[in-house]
Structure formats: structure tokens, C-alpha cells
Amino acid sequence: MHFMGVTSGITTIDQWTVAPSDTWTLLGGNGSGKGVLARLMCGELLPERGRIDHLPARVHWLSLEHQQSLYERELYNDDTDFSDQLDPGTSVRDLLLEVRTPWSDTHDALVQQLSMAPLLARGYRLLSSGEGRKVMLARAVLDAPDLLILDEPYEGLDVESTRQLSAAFKELVDAGQWIMLLVNQKQDIPEWTTHLAWLDHGRLTLQGPAAELQAHPDFQAALRFTQTDTLQLPARQSEFQLAHWPADEPLVALHNGRVAYGDQVQFHGVNWQLLPGEHTQVSGPNGCGKSTLLSLVTGDHPQCYANDLTVFGYRRGQGETIWDIKKHLGYVSGHLHRDYRVPGNVITAVVSGLTDSIGVYSATGQHEAELAHQWLALLGLEARAKDAFRDLSTGEQRLVLIARALIKQPPLLILDEPTQGLDDMNRFLVLAAVERILADGPTTLLFVSHRADESPALIRRHLRFAPDHTQTALYHIEQEVVR
């Protein structure tokens, strides 16, 4: 595959040759043009100028957007409202059979390689974001393309799943599969990649053998950023603060918490409370229940009403409205990102954090709009304010949803893998903004991340999901005071 003087939108490739014997990793920030480049290689876009010779006949491009499309298909077919039980969606086994049938040794080998056997009978809508990602990757491999483009393949995966997938990709490469990776972060460059390229604002500025490029001073400079202690946040919105909340009264209290799907108990016997200022990190493998625990707190999980759960002084199921809870929350998660499918521009999406809604359904005041503009400017998206939310890249959308969660600097900030899809610079900026919010005011953090380097310095307590060896549940929670 050879690019010669190719231009398409913001993307310009002067000269670039990609041989099937080479395994390339393209590194670039949010909005750098990686998606445009993938579409050119898939044949979904034609160059405005220049030409591409020797494109592979069959290219499979796997991205977070494709996972979103499958989720929306499953959501469209959800029959929960027409039955007396939860519709789990298409089973993982059937999803794999959609790509290749009948079931074969290839399926068995891939399931074993990706440790997916426990998922086969489960419906797609019951999977965690990381488990869903593994299913999408398995479908891509089963498609047996000439070139497999993996766009952020490790996003949403825990450390062990990332290790398994990287080993599986290495085996595919060794077996002759042509693979190219598109990543945002330096840590996602696999050790087995042979060639690297740096995509910056649509231009392929650096390219070459991996060892040479990583030692190149320009490549190192491109990845270097300096922490600043002078990060200035927009004004905290006092109307969203909990006035005179006692320091010894928990914001959240769960007694003997339990979540089960049919006969399968995900976790039980959870006794936990979150005191003001007791910033807490939640960790554990994909599918253990981290997001489930958070969705109990936000009220987005139906079993919150079957639990002895109190949030902001309201006992769940005792007459409170969902807005009594959500007006005190700021929330980012993969589920929210998948469900944020309403039309509207970027400003509308950010302002919806003040109304706790998906979209805005009343006129936006000047103060709200100005506040949203300030947050977009802080995160480098001021120029996209009037663009349609759905026209942004996945990483840019995630930044907008982070601004939506932070705009009111709420009493409780719930961040579930907030930096998923972000490049290193934006990841640092988001974490720095969160730490400044925690340091400057009465906001308590509930935080989930698979990354070892993303634990905010102010974390006070750690909840770890671990396998329950009593066999009465899949997982139990271990609690630890950090400092």
C-alpha cells in the first residue's frame, strides 16, 4: 500500500509505504485525522488529491464508533418493554456466528485465546464496556480480512485483558495477519510493533522503524508536556452545592448490597458508605460490577430500588424523584457516551450537565452558554462549540461529556473510565482539572480506571472487586483506606 501526495479533508500524506510484512502503529491525538486515514484505507473515502496504490481488497476497520453501532442495533431490538423480564440482547455466541458459520475450531481457539468462554451465553447488553470490546475484536478477527485496522483496541480493558489481547494480536501477526494499530497514548504501542508513525493535525510528520522513531528527538518532543499548577477553572456554581452537609453523614450508604441477573449473583453483602471528601477509587476486572455499583448510585440501574441504598439522604424507592439525586451529581461513563444519541450541538451537550438530561429541551440562558464556552475553551474545543455533537470524533465527544459532568462542579463527581479514547495530553488535562476541583471545593470523587497511572493524588479509599471463592457470588468487594 503506497500513499503519494494524498489529501482528504484535514489529512495530508506526502509519501508513505506500508508493506504487509510490517506492523505499523499510528500515534495521534484526538482529532488528528486517524479516522480519516482509516476510511481512506477502507475505501470509504476517496482522496481529493493524490493516489493510493495497492490497497488491500478486504480491510476491516474496528473502532469505538463500530462498537457504538452494534450497541445501537441491540438497543433498537430491545424487547424489555414488551415482556416481564430484562431482554439481555443477542448472545455473544450468536454475534460470533453472524460473522462466520457454522461454529468451528477457529471459534473455539479464539474464545480460548481471549478468555471469552464465560461470555458466550450472555446477551450483549449485559456485558461491560470492556467485555463488549473483546466481542467486537473477536468478530473482527473472525472476518479474516487482508488488513485489520484496530482503532484504540485496548480502550476499556483491564490490565489482564489488555495483556491477553496484545498476545493474541502477536500470534495473529506471527501467523501472517496484516495488522495496523491506531492509538492515542504512548503506553498503547505494543512491543511487537515494527514501525511507528506520528499523525499531527492531519499530517504524517514522522514515520519509520519503531526503535529508530522512539529515539528520535522530535518524536519525544511531540509526546512531552509540562504540568501546570496554574490551571484556572470556571467559577463553581454555588446553587449545586449541598449547604451545611454534616462531615460525618454519608453522601452514599449501601447496606448488604446485592445485584443478580436471574440465578447469577454478581455481588452481594456489600456494606459501604461514602463520606464527604472521602475520594474513592473502584477497581477490578472487566465485568466484575464496577459500573453496576456506580449506576446503583446514579439511579440508572433498576436494582437500585431493590437495595437498602441511601443517596444524599434519600432512601431509594421512598418517594424521591431521580432529579432529587441527579441534581447533585456530575457523571461520565461509557454507558452515558453510548446513550448520548440525541441531536444537538456541542454547547447544548455541555449545558445539559446543568439540567441533568440527555439533550436540552428549553431555551439556554446567556450565563449557561458562557459557562459552557469557558469549559470548552479549557479543554481545547471552543472552535467546535457550534458543531453537531455526533460529528465529533469519539475522543472529542468524550471531552465534551467530561465538560458536561464538570460544568456545575457538583457535590459528587462520578467518573467511570473518563479518559477512555483520549490522547495523553487531553488525559492529563482532564485529570488536572479534576484534581483542581477536588482541591478547591466541596466535591467528592467516585472514580473508576483500569490505568495504574490514573489514581488521583487525593484518593482516600479504594474498593477492589475480587473473585468470591465462596461461590455464592461472582465477586466481593475489599475495602482499603489509602491515606
Domain map (residue ranges) of the chain: 2-223, 238-481
pLDDT in 10s for each residue of the chain, 483 residues: 999 999 998 888 999 999 999 999 999 887 788 889 999 999 889 999 999 999 999 999 988 778 878 888 887 777 655 555 667 789 999 999 999 999 999 999 989 888 899 999 999 888 887 788 889 889 998 998 999 999 988 887 778 888 888 888 898 899 889 999 999 888 889 999 999 999 887 888 889 999 998 888 877 766 664 444 557 888 887 666 776 789 899 999 999 999 998 888 999 889 999 999 999 999 988 888 898 999 999 988 889 888 999 999 888 877 777 777 888 899 998 888 888 888 889 999 999 998 877 777 666 688 889 999 999 999 989 999 999 998 998 889 999 999 999 999 999 999 999 988 888 888 888 988 998 888 887 899 999 987 767 777 788 899 999 888 887 888 888 998 876
Provide the 10 A C-beta neighbour count for residue 377: 14
- Domain 238-481: give its CATH superfamily: P-loop containing nucleotide triphosphate hydrolases (3.40.50.300)
CB distance 459 to 279 below 8 Å: yes
Same topology between domain 2-223 and domain 238-481: yes
If we measure between CA atoms, which residue out of 206, 217, 266 comes closest to residue 465? Answer: 266
Alpha-carbon distances of 180 from 31, 145, 147, 161, 210, rounded to whole Å: 19, 12, 7, 19, 13
Q: What's the whole-model pTM score?
A: 0.73
CATH number of 2-223: 3.40.50.300
CB distance 314 to 320 below 8 Å: yes
pLDDT given for residue 163 in this prediction: 85
Written as nine digits, the cell of 460 is 482516600
CA separation for the pair 77, 96 (Å, rounded): 18
- What value, to the nearest 5°, has the Cα angle with vertex 53 and ends 49 and 57? 120
Q: What are the residues whose beta carbons fall under 8 Å from the beta carbon of 468, sequence distance 6 or more?
A: 267, 474, 475, 476
Q: What are the residues whose beta carbons fall under 8 Å from the beta carbon of 445, sequence distance 6 or more?
A: 279, 280, 413, 415, 434, 438, 456, 458, 459
